Structure 1
Amino acid sequence: MAMTPLLLLLCLVTLVAVPTTAAASLPADFYRLLATKAALSDPTSALAPWDQSLPPCRWPHVHCSSSSDNPSVASLLLSNLSLAGEFPAQLCSLTSLVRLDLSYNSLIGPLPPCLAALPSLRHLDLSGNAFSGEVPRSYGQGFTSLLSLSLAGNDLSGGFPAFLSNVSTLEELLLAYNPFAPSPLPADIAPGLPRLRVLWLASCGLVGKIPSSIGNLRSLVNLDLSTNNLTGEIPKTIGNLESVVQIELYSNKLSGRVPAGLGGLKELRFLDAAMNRLSGEIPADLFLAPKLESLHLYENELSGAVPSTLGHATALNDLRLFTNRLVGELPPEFGKGCPLEFLDLSDNRISGRIPATLCSAGKLEQLLILNNELVGPIPAELGECRTLTRVRLPNNRLSGAVPLDMWGLPRLYLLELAGNALSGTVGPAIALAQNLSQLLISDNHFAGVLPAQIGTLTSLVELSAANNGFSGPLPASLADVSTLSRLDLRNNSFSGELPHGVRRWQKLTQLDLAKNRLTGNIPPELGELPVLNSLDLSNNEFTGNVPVQLENLKLSLFNLSNNRLTGNLSPMFAGDTYDDSFLGNPSLCRRACPSGRRAAAGRRGLVGSVGSVLTIAGVILILGVAWFWYKYRGQYKKRGAEAGGKKWVVTSFHKVEFEEEDILSCLDDEDNVVGTGAAGKVYRAVVGRGGGADDDVVAVKKLWGVAGAAARKDKDGKAVMKDTFEAEVTTLGRIRHKNIVKLWCCLRSGDRGLLVYEYMPNGSLGDLLHGGKGSLLDWPMRYRIMVDAAEGLSYLHHDCAPPIVHRDVKSNNILLDAEFGAKVADFGVAMVIGDGPNAVSAIAGSCGYIAPEYSYTLRITEKSDVYSFGVVMLELVTGKKAVGPELGDKDLVSWVRGSIEHNGVDSVLDPRLAGESRDEMRKVLNVALHCSSSLPINRPSMRSVVKLLLEVLPDCKPAVVDEKESIDV
C-alpha cells in the first residue's frame, strides 16, 4: 500500500515529460497550409486529409524539403481540384517553396504581387483559373530564381505585360488566352530572356509586327503567337532559331512571303502559319528541314507550284495547303520517302496525276485533294492502302476505273469521288468496307449494276450515285441497310421494282430515284418512314395508285410527276399545294374519275333535279361575296400596300394545310402579338377551315425591311447585309430534330418576309423562369428542359455536316411546348462552320451569355455555344437571370463562383426548390460550371454534356426519339 502514491507520481511525471503526437506543435509552414485550407472553397474535399492525424509531410499534394529536423514545404501541387476563392495570401510566406501549381481551378480576384518575393520559387503555374486585373509589375522586378511562369487561360487585362521580359532566369513564359488590351510585342525581346525555351502568347491581343529580335532567342524550342492580330511579314530572322521545334503563327493577319531559310532549322518539326494573308511561292528549302513532320499553310494566298523538294521531305506526315492558289503538278515520288498520314491540298488548281507513292510508308489515313484539276486514273497502289479512312477527290478530271481493291478498304468511312469522269463498276469487294459511312460517286460515268454486297454495309448512312449510267434492278439487299439517311440515285437507268422491305429505312430523310426506268407500284411502306423529308420518284414508269399512306409524311419536296400513275388522288393531295407533284400522269384524277355513260347520265339527271337549288344557292353566293368584299376591302388594301403590291411567294418545308390568307389575316390585329425582338414581331395565328377545335395554331415572325438584317463586312471590308430571314430559312428549312423548333414555311415579298413556325404554347424558358411563374417549373421539369435543349444543341454540333453553331443560345431562345418539352429556336445568327475556328467580324449573342474568348478573338467554335448553354443551366439551377441588378456588377457565372466561394454551394440553389433533389442540383451545377469555364479547352462537348446530364438521374432518363438528319449545308 505504501508504493501506490509513488507509482502515481511516476505516472504523472511521465505524462508531462513525453508529449503526445496530437499535442505536438506543427512547423510554421504547415500552419500556413491549414490557413490556406480554411480560406479556400473545397467542394470535392481534396484538402480534407490536411489535419494533425497525419504527419504533415504525408499530406496529399504536399512535398517537403529534405530536412527532417525542421521540414518545410518545397512543392505544393494543387492542380485541377475544383478549388475556389481568391489566392490565399498565406502561401506567400512559404519561403522554401520551389514549385507552386494551382492550375485549372476556379480561383478569382487579382494576382498576388507578394509571390515575386519568394526567394526559392522556380516554377509558378496559375493557368486555367479566373484571375483578373493586370499582371503585377513586381513580377518583372522580383522572381530571382523563376524558371517557368504560366498565367494562361485567365481573365487578365490591361496592357500586355512586356516587363516580364526582364525576368532573366525564365525558361518558360506562358500567357496565352488572356484578354489583354491590344499591345505590340516588345521591339527588343531577346536580351532579357537569354534562356527562354517556351514562349506561348496565343490569343493575347497582340498587334503590330513580329519584331526581328525574335530571332535572337537562340534557346527557343516552342514559339506560339497564334490567334492574335499580328500584321506585316514573318521576319527572316526566325530562321535563326536554331533550337526551335514548333512555330505556331496561325490565325493572324500576316502578309508577304514565307521567308526562305527555314529549311536550315535542324530541329523544326511543326510549322503552322495557316489562316493568314501570306502570298508568293512556298520556299523550296522549307521541305529540306530534316525533321519537319507537320506543315500547315492553308487558307492563305500562296501561289506557284508546290516545290519539287516536297519529294525529299523525309519526316513529313501531315501536310495541309488547302485553299490557296497553288498550281502545277505534284512531285511524282512524293510520299515514297516519308511517313505521310494526312494530306489536304483541296481548293487549289493542282494538275497532273495523283502520285502513286503517297502510301508507300503504309500510313496514309486521309487523302483530300478536292476541287483541283487532277487528271488520269486513281493509282492502283491506293487500292492497297489499308490504312485509309477518308478519301475526298471530287471535282477533278480523274478518269478510268477505280482500283477494285479500293472499294473494299476495311477502315474507309468516307469515299467521295463525285464530279469526275471515272468509269467502270462498283466492285463486289465493297462487302469488305464494313466501316463505310458515306459513298459519294455522283456525276461520273460509272455503269453496270450495283452489287448485292452493298446491302451488307451496316454503317452506310449516305449513298449518292446520281448522274451515272447504272442499270439493272436495285439490289434487294439495299432494303436491309437500316442506317441509310440519304439515298440519291437519280438520272441513271435503274429498272424493275423498288426492293421489298423499305420500311426498314427508319432513318431515311431523302430518297431521290428520279429519271430512271423503275416500274411497279409505289410501296405504301414509304409512308411509314418517320423522318423522310424529301421524296422524288419522278420521270420513271411507276403504275398503280398513289398510296394514301404517303399522307403521313412531312415533306419539303414531293415529286411523283411523269409516271403512269392512275386512280383518284386523296383529298389532301388534290389541293393546290401539290399542283406540281403529279404532272405528267394523265390517268391520275384529282377528283372522282368518270366511269362511262351511266356516270354521264347520272350527272345529267342530277343537274336537272337540283337546278332550282343551284339557282338559289348562286344568288346567295353572289350576295355573300358582295358583302365579304365590302367588309374586308379595307384590310386587303392595307395588306396590299404593306406588300408593295408584290405577290407573296410561299416555300413549304413540311406538309401544310393552311393558305396564305390565313397567315396574312393575323397580322392585322395587334392583339395577336406574342413577342417582340430585335428582328421583328411574332404573332399567334389560328389557321384552319372553320374556327373550331380542329384548327391549328402557328407562330408567325414578321421581318419587315432592315429589321431582319444584321450588318457585317466581307473579307475585303465592304459592308454587306446578312439577312436574318435567310439564315433561319437556310438552317431550319433543312434540319429535323425533336428538340429544334419546326419551320413550317416561309413567305416572301420583296424585302419583306414571314416565317411560320410551330406554336409553342408555353412560350420561352426565360419568360417563364423569370417572369413570376418560375415556381411552375419544379426540379424534374427543369432537368428535362436541360436535357432536351442539350440534345438539340448536340445535334447541331455533332450530327450536322458541317456543324452548325447557334451563336445566340439563351433562355429566351429555348421554347416550351404544351408538355414543357424544350426546343431550341431563333437561328437568325446561326453559322455553319468547317474544320477549326471560324472568324466573324461582329459579335453575335446576348449580354451575359457570350463566351469570354469570343468577345476578344471574334472566332467562333462549338465551345462558344457550350459556354452559353452553361449559363442557361445556371439560370435553371439558381433561378437568377444571366445579368441583372440582383447580381450587382457581375454576370451570373461570376456571381455563382463568388457565392460558392464565400457561402458554399447551397447558397446559389434556387430557394423556390427548397428541399427538392438538392443532390441532383449540385451535380448539374458542377456540369454547368464546367461548361462555363473561361478556357474553351476545359469545356466539354455538347455530346458529353448530354451524357453528363443523363448520368445525374441514370434511372430516370428521358425518352430519346431518334429524329436526326445529317445535312450538308
Structure 2
Amino acid sequence: MSNACSHRQIFLSLCFLFCFTFPCYVKSDELQILLTLKSALNKSSTDVLDSWAATGSVCSFNGITCDAGGSVKEIELSNQKLTGVLPLDSICQLQSLDKLSMGHNSLYGAITEDLNNCSKLRYLDLGNNPFSGPFPDISALSELQYLYLNGSGFSGRFPWKSLENMNNLTVLSLGDNPFDRTPFPDQIVKLKKLNWLYLANCSIEGKIPPAIGDLTELKDLELQLNYLSGDIPSEIGKLRKLWQLELYTNELTGKLPAGLRNLTSLEYFDASSNYLEGDISEVKYLTNLVSLQLFENRFNGGVPPELGEFKKLVNLSLYTNMLTGPLPQKLGSWADFDYIDVSENLLTGPIPPDMCKKGTMRGLLMLQNRFTGEIPTTYASCATMKRFRVSNNSLSGIVPAGIWGLPQVEIIDIAYNRFEGPITSDIKNAKEIGILSAEFNRLSGELAKEISGATSLVKIELNDNQMSGEIPDGIGELKALSSLKLQNNMFSGPIPDSLGSCASISDINMANNSLSGKIPSSLGSLPTLNSLDLSRNELSGRIPESLSFLRLNLFDLSYNRLTGPVPQSLAVEAYNGSLAGNPGLCSSTFKSFKQCPPDSGMSKHVRTLIVCLAVGAIMLASLGCILYLRRKEKDHNRSLKEESWDVKSFHVLTFTEDDILDSIKQENLIGKGGAGNVYKVMLSNGVELAVKHIWNTDSHGRWKSRSSTPILGRRSGKEKEFDAEVQTLSSIRHVNVVKLYCSITSEDSSLLVYEYLPNGSLWDRLHSSRKMELDWDT
C-alpha cells in the first residue's frame, strides 16, 4: 500500500513539473523562431527589430502581440522598410499565430508551400512586395478572413480552388499581379461574406457572371484594367451596400443596366474606357455620387439635370462620348468641387457658373463642344484653378480680366472661339502658366508688357487675332519659352532684340503683321531654333549674317523690304522661295534675284583691308608650308599606329583598332572638310565603314605637341565638336539615323567610325546639284 502511494506521489510530481516547465520550452522555441526571422531580415534599413533581443521577452518585441498564455498571436510588421526572404518554414511553427502582416515592404523571393502550416491564420497580408514566381495552393488556410496579395509580383496561374473552403473570407485583394489570363473564377461568387473584392489588373477575362449579385455584403468591387467583355449584368443592382464600383479599361459593351439605380450608397463609379453605349440616365438616381467617370465610351443623349442637385459630387469626367444638350447650371455648386472634363462631346448652352463656388476647383476642361455665351466672371477669382480649357467652342465676349492672372493656372486654352478684348496686365500674376493658347479669336489691343512676369511660359500662341502695337521688349525674359506664334495679327514696330535671349525657343512665327526695322542679329545665336517665319511684314535692311549659323526646317523671310546680298549659306535652292518678294536683295546664286555688284557695296577702305589681309594670309600660308614640310621630314617615320589610342564602342564590333588605322590612307579618301577627312574602309568580311578623322588643334590652329597630360584634360576647339557629335550620335537608335559604331581618340586626332551610306547626306539631297528623288513623301 505504501509503495502504491509512493508511486502516485512521484507521478503527480512529474506531471506538475511538466506542466510548469512546458510554457518555458514553448517560449524558448518562439524566441528562436523570431530571432530566425530577424536574421533573415538583417539587411533592412530600419530599427524596428532592434528590440528583438535574445534576452528579452517575445511579447515585448516591436510588432508582436501575444495571447493570454504568452504565445505569439500576431506579427504586424507592415510598411517597415523590411527586406529579405521570409522564412515561412520557421514562422509557421508559431502554433498560435493568427495574423501575419508583412505588406508594403521590400520582401522578395518565392512564397513556399510552408505557408500551409500557418493553418490558424485569420489575417494574411503579403501585398505590395517584390516577390516572384507563382503563389502556392493554400487550401489549408480555411480560417482566413483577410487575404491581401495585391501588387506583389506573383505570376503564373493563381490557385483559385484554394478559396473554396474560405467561407469566412471578407476581404480578398489579389489585384495588380501578372497572373495568367483566366475567366472570372466561379469560386469568387461563392464567398458570400465578402465586403471588399479587389481583382484589378490581374488578367481576368470573359463576362462578369450574373452570380456577382449574390455577394450582397460587397461594399467595394474593383475589376478595372482587365479583359472583361459583354454587358454589365443587371444583377449588379442587388449590391445595395456598394460604395465603390470600378470597371474602367475593360472591353465592356451594351448599356448601363437598369438595376444600377438601386445602388443608392454608391459614391465612386468609374466605367470609363470601355465600349458602353446608350444614355446615362441611370446615374440620376445615384444621388450620393462623389466621383463619376464615364469618359471614352459611346454614350449619347443628355446629361441628366439631376446631377446639378448632387450634394457630394466633386469630380465629373464624361469626355470623348457623343453627349448632347446643356449641362445643369447648378452643377458643382454644392460640394468642394474639384474638376470637370466633358471635352469632345456635342454639348451646348452656357458654362455652369458656380463650379468654383467653394474655391477648390482645379480643372475646367470643356474643349471641343458647342458651348455658347461668355465665360462666367466667377472663374476670374478661382485661385485654385490649374487648367482652364474651353477651346473649340462658340464662346464669345470679353475674357474676364482675372482669368489671365490666375495664380496657379498652368494652362489657359481658349483657342478657336469668338473672344474679344485684350490680354490684360493681370497676366503678370500667372507665375505658373506654361501654355497660353488663344489663337483664332478676335482678341485686340496690345500684348501687355507685363507678360514678361509670367516667367514659366513655354508656349505663346496668339496667332490669327486682331492684336496690334509693338511686341514688348520684355519677351526676352521668358527663358523657358519654346514657341512664339504671333502670325496673322496687326503687330507693328521692331522685333525685340531681346528675343535672342530666349535660349530654349525652337519656333518663331510672326508672319503677316506690320513689323518694321531690321531683323535682330541676336536671332542667329538661338541654339535650338528650328522654324523662323517672318514673312509678309515690312522688315528692312540686310539679312544678318548670323542667320547663316542656323539649320532650320522652316525659313521664310519672303515679302518684306530686305536689301543687300543674300548670305552665301542661305543661297541654296531650298530657300529660294523663302526670300521672294524682296526686290532689294541680290544674289550670284539665285537667278530670280538681281546680281550683286562685284564690290557688294564695300567701301574702298574695306577693299584695301581685304587685299592686305589676303596678302598677309598668303605669306602666313607659305611660312606654314615651310614649317610643315620641315616637321614632316623630321617626323616622317611617325605613323598613326604609334599613337596611344582609346577605343569607346557603342555597338558590338566586328573589327579591331588596327583594321581602322590601317585604312586611313590617301587612296581611301572620299571627302574633306574643315575639321578633317572622311575615309571609306572595306573590312575583310565585306562590311563597309566610313571613318571621320578629326585633327585636334589648339586655339591658333597649330598641331598639338605631345605631352603626358591626360586626353580628357585637353579637350577644346575641334575636340568640343568631336565630343558633341559622339554624345549625340551614340545616344540615338533610329533606323533613319546613321549608326555610330565607336570613337577612337588619341592626343593628336580623333576617329569616328560609322556605317557607310553611299548616297551622301540629306543636306546633299535637298541643297546640292546632286538631287535625287526621295522614297518618302516630302
Task: Give TM-score, length-normalised by structure 1.
Answer: 0.59
Query: How much has 1:247 moved relative to structure 2?
Result: 1.0
- Among 265, 272, 275, the alignment partner of 1:274 is 272
Q: Which residue of 1 aligns with 2:111?
A: 111
Q: 8 Å contact 2:296–2:318 — kept in the other structure?
A: yes
Matched, 1:396 2:397: no
SS of match in other structure, 2:347: strand
Residue 110 and residue 480 in structure 1: after superposition, are their counterparts in 2 closer, same or farther (change >3 A)? Answer: closer
- Among 470, 485, 490, the alignment partner of 1:488 is 485
- Equivalent residue letter for 1:36: L
Matched, 1:290 2:290: no
The alignment of Structure 1 onto Structure 2 pairs a total of residues equal to: 615
Q: Distance in 1 between matches of 2:27 and 2:547?
A: 81
Q: Distance in 1 between matches of 2:200 and 2:230?
A: 17
Q: 8 Å contact 2:100–2:124 — kept in the other structure?
A: yes
Q: 8 Å contact 1:816–1:822 — kept in the other structure?
A: no
Q: Which residue of 2 aligns with 1:326?
A: 323
Q: Distance in 1 between matches of 2:394 and 2:46?
A: 64
SS of match in other structure, 1:199: strand
Deviations 1:281-333 (A, max 9, x none): 0024x133232111111111111111111212211100111111111111233
Q: Distance in 2 between matches of 1:526 and 1:375?
A: 41
Query: How much has 1:758 moved relative to structure 2?
Result: 13
Residue 760 and residue 344 in structure 1: after superposition, are their counterparts in 2 closer, same or farther (change >3 A)? Answer: farther
Matched, 1:474 2:471: yes
Residue 83 and residue 692 in structure 1: after superposition, are their counterparts in 2 closer, same or farther (change >3 A)? Answer: same
Query: How much has 1:66 moved relative to structure 2?
Result: 4.6
SS of match in other structure, 1:446: strand
- Equivalent residue letter for 1:177: D
- Equivalent residue letter for 1:538: S
Query: How much has 1:759 moved relative to structure 2?
Result: 9.3
Residue 93 and residue 595 in structure 1: after superposition, are their counterparts in 2 closer, same or farther (change >3 A)? Answer: closer
Q: 8 Å contact 1:816–1:823 — kept in the other structure?
A: no
Residue 344 and residue 96 in structure 1: after superposition, are their counterparts in 2 closer, same or farther (change >3 A)? Answer: same
Q: Distance in 2 between matches of 1:263 and 1:758?
A: 73
Q: 8 Å contact 1:108–1:131 — kept in the other structure?
A: yes
Query: How much has 1:446 moved relative to structure 2?
Result: 1.0
Q: Distance in 2 between matches of 1:526 and 1:58?
A: 75
Deviations 1:510-534 (A, max 9, x none): 1111111100001111112222222
Residue 78 and residue 421 in structure 1: after superposition, are their counterparts in 2 closer, same or farther (change >3 A)? Answer: closer
Q: Distance in 2 between matches of 1:698 and 1:340?
A: 68
Stretch deviating more after TM superposition (460-469 or 425-434): 425-434
Query: How much has 1:52 moved relative to structure 2?
Result: 3.7
Q: Which residue of 2 aligns with 1:908?
A: none
1:553-952 alignment to 2 at 5 Å? 553-591=550-588, 690-692=671-673, 694=675, 824-826=731-733
Q: Which residue of 2 aligns with 1:337?
A: 334
SS of match in other structure, 1:511: strand
Q: Distance in 1 between matches of 2:424 and 2:214?
A: 59
Q: 8 Å contact 2:92–2:114 — kept in the other structure?
A: yes
Stretch deviating more after TM superposition (165-174 or 270-279): 165-174
Q: Which residue of 2 aligns with 1:35?
A: 36
Query: How much has 1:487 moved relative to structure 2?
Result: 0.9
Residue 145 and residue 479 in structure 1: after superposition, are their counterparts in 2 closer, same or farther (change >3 A)? Answer: closer
Q: Distance in 2 between matches of 1:214 and 1:490?
A: 59
Residue 206 and residue 695 in structure 1: after superposition, are their counterparts in 2 closer, same or farther (change >3 A)? Answer: same
Query: How much has 1:551 moved relative to structure 2?
Result: 2.2
- Equivalent residue letter for 1:258: L
- Among 308, 313, 316, the alignment partner of 1:311 is 308
1:142-161 alignment to 2 at 5 Å? 142-159=141-158, 161=160
Q: Distance in 1 between matches of 2:314 and 2:692?
A: 53
- Equivalent residue letter for 1:483: A
Q: Distance in 1 between matches of 2:128 and 2:384?
A: 37
SS of match in other structure, 2:539: strand
Q: Which residue of 1 aligns with 2:169?
A: 170
Query: How much has 1:538 moved relative to structure 2?
Result: 1.0
Matched, 1:129 2:129: yes
Q: Which residue of 2 aligns with 1:623?
A: none
- Equivalent residue letter for 1:826: R
Stretch deviating more after TM superposition (140-149 or 363-372): 140-149
Q: Distance in 1 between matches of 2:66 and 2:41?
A: 24
Q: Which residue of 1 aligns with 2:744?
A: none
SS of match in other structure, 1:166: coil
Q: Which residue of 2 aligns with 1:215?
A: 213
SS of match in other structure, 1:181: coil
SS of match in other structure, 2:476: helix
Matched, 1:424 2:421: yes
Q: Distance in 1 between matches of 2:82 and 2:692?
A: 42
Q: Which residue of 1 aligns with 2:184?
A: 185
SS of match in other structure, 1:140: coil
- Equivalent residue letter for 1:167: M
Identity of aligned residues (%): 33
Query: How much has 1:343 moved relative to structure 2?
Result: 0.3
Q: Which residue of 2 aligns with 1:520?
A: 517
Task: Give TM-score, length-normalised by structure 2.
Answer: 0.72
Q: Which residue of 2 aligns with 1:374?
A: 371
Residue 382 and residue 213 in structure 1: after superposition, are their counterparts in 2 closer, same or farther (change >3 A)? Answer: same
Residue 547 and residue 597 in structure 1: after superposition, are their counterparts in 2 closer, same or farther (change >3 A)? Answer: closer
1:432-451 alignment to 2 at 5 Å? 432-451=429-448
Q: 8 Å contact 1:688–1:694 — kept in the other structure?
A: no
Q: Which residue of 1 aligns with 2:535?
A: 538
What's the C-alpha RMSD, in Å, of the aligned pairs?
Answer: 3.7
SS of match in other structure, 2:442: coil
Q: Distance in 2 between matches of 1:25 and 1:194?
A: 38
1:402-417 alignment to 2 at 5 Å? 402-417=399-414
Q: 8 Å contact 2:509–2:533 — kept in the other structure?
A: yes
Residue 530 and residue 154 in structure 1: after superposition, are their counterparts in 2 closer, same or farther (change >3 A)? Answer: same
Q: Distance in 2 between matches of 1:355 and 1:51?
A: 61
Stretch deviating more after TM superposition (518-527 or 583-592): 583-592
Unaligned runs of 5+ in 1: 1-22, 601-672, 677-685, 700-756, 762-779, 781-814, 830-969
SS of match in other structure, 2:588: coil
Query: How much has 1:597 moved relative to structure 2?
Result: 11
- Equivalent residue letter for 1:567: G
Query: How much has 1:824 moved relative to structure 2?
Result: 3.8
Q: Distance in 2 between matches of 1:294 and 1:758?
A: 62
Greater share of residues in helix: 1
1:62-81 alignment to 2 at 5 Å? 62-67=63-68, 70-72=70-72, 74-77=74-77, 79=79, 81=81
Q: Which residue of 2 aligns with 1:385?
A: 382
SS of match in other structure, 1:381: helix
Query: How much has 1:466 moved relative to structure 2?
Result: 0.3
Q: Distance in 2 between matches of 1:758 and 1:245?
A: 68
Q: Which residue of 2 aligns with 1:55?
A: 56
- Equivalent residue letter for 2:85: G
SS of match in other structure, 2:364: strand
Structure whose CA Rg is larger: 2
- Equivalent residue letter for 1:280: G
Q: Distance in 1 between matches of 2:205 and 2:469?
A: 64
Residue 101 and residue 187 in structure 1: after superposition, are their counterparts in 2 closer, same or farther (change >3 A)? Answer: closer
Q: Distance in 2 between matches of 1:332 and 1:820?
A: 57
Q: Which residue of 1 aligns with 2:362?
A: 365
- Equivalent residue letter for 2:32: Y
SS of match in other structure, 1:535: strand
SS of match in other structure, 1:30: helix
Query: How much has 1:102 moved relative to structure 2?
Result: 2.7
Q: Distance in 2 between matches of 1:196 and 1:307?
A: 33
Q: Which residue of 2 aligns with 1:196?
A: 194
Q: Which residue of 2 aligns with 1:97?
A: 97
Query: How much has 1:199 moved relative to structure 2?
Result: 0.7
SS of match in other structure, 1:567: strand
